[in-house]
Every structure is written in C-alpha cells, then in structure tokens.
Amino acid sequence: MAKDKFINRTLKQRGFSLIEVLVVTTILVLVTGGAIAGYNQFNYKRKVIAVGQNFRNVLRDAQSRAFTGEKDCTVCGCTGLPNDANLQGWTINLTNSTMYGNCAPTANPTPSNFPLTPIPIPTTSNMVITAQTSVSISSFQFKTFPKGTNQSSVINICVRPTPWAGYNYQIIIDPSGNIRDYGITTSCS
C-alpha cells in the first residue's frame, strides 16, 4: 500500500515548483550576462589591436619609403638634373592624419619642405593616436640620411579609444628609426 501511494504521488506531480523555476532562471541570467560582458571586452580589445596594427603598418610604410629614398617625381623632380629636389624624409602628421614626403632643393642646404601629395592615414573616428617623446609631439619624420627619425629621443605612440582609456596599443620608435610593437597595454608610458 505504501508503494502505491508513492507511485500515485509521483504520477500526479507534473512540472516544477515556482522556486525551482526562479533559481534556474536566475542562474541562466547571470551566466548570460557574464558571457555578454566578456564578449564585449574581447570585441573592444580586438578593435584596439586592429587599429594599432594598422597604424603600425602605416609607420612601417613611411619608414620604408624614407629608407629606400622613394619620392614623388611630380614634386621632387626625377630628371637627374641639378635642380631636382632631394628627399629629406617622410613625415607622419598626427594632427591631420596624413603621411607625406619632404623634399629640399639641392642648392639650398636648409630644407624647405615641399610636401608630397598627402596620403591619408586610415584611422577609426573614435580612436585617439598620441605620440610623445619627453613632450607631446604632433608630427615626426623618418629621415632618408642618416637613417632614423628627426627626434633625439624615443617616440612613444599610443592608440586608444576615445570614450574609455582602459586599453592602449603601444608602439615605440627609437631615434634610429627602429619600430617596436608592444601590443595592447593598460597604461602607455
């Protein structure tokens, strides 16, 4: 008889109690919330890394153009005549996000800059790119000869998102023009 009561009771009980449903729902909400927060942070880091690596490639392009002596013949002249302008180097301008070459006439030992057609630096509108040596700088140049930069100290470049400064992408350029990639960091100093 006791066995029959147990079987009848289990057959009549269909479903879950309200407390069991609330506990399971709460656990699912917490796990989902944590997953979404983790995914947003992962997405954010990937965005910082992508823009930082893109900017690093722009720096390497300017470095390569300067070190190989590439110049725009429409501005510097490539006729081989004495009035052709000599390439002084390639400048990265962080204020207007452009890269351009600087030429100077051979007769004039003091470089007068004739910027080549500016090449836009691809950046994302919500990213900030800052460069500093011992002070903040808005532009710098990879020189043709001697190879290196026009700065006497290390250039520290940080790429970070505008609304939140939690992560930076750090690139270091030493005076010899060597570009070192430090990747994503929490502080850029």
pLDDT digits (tens, 9 = 90+) for 13-69: 678 889 999 999 999 999 999 999 888 888 888 888 888 888 899 899 999 989 988
What is the spatial distance between Cα 60 and Cα 63, in angstroms, rounded to a whole number?
Answer: 5
Query: Can you tell me whether residue 11 is helix, strand or coil?
Result: helix
The answer to whether 89 and 102 have CB atoms below 8 angstroms apart is yes
Omega cis (within 30) before 146: yes
pLDDT digits (tens, 9 = 90+) for 60-118: 999 998 998 887 666 676 777 666 678 888 888 888 888 888 887 544 434 444 455 66
What is the spatial distance between Cα 44 and Cα 183, in angstroms, rounded to a whole number?
Answer: 14
CATH number corresponding to 26-185? 3.55.40.10
Alpha-carbon separation of residue 73 from 6, 59, 61, 64, 79 (angstroms): 96, 22, 18, 17, 8
What is the spatial distance between Cα 182 and Cα 39, in angstroms, rounded to a whole number?
Answer: 23
Where does the chain have alpha helices with state H? 2-12, 18-68, 73-76
The domain spans of the chain are: 26-185
For residue 159, give both structure tokens. Answer: 């790429």
pLDDT over 70 (residue 3): no
Record the pTM: 0.72
What is the spatial distance between Cα 45 and Cα 65, in angstroms, rounded to a whole number?
Answer: 30
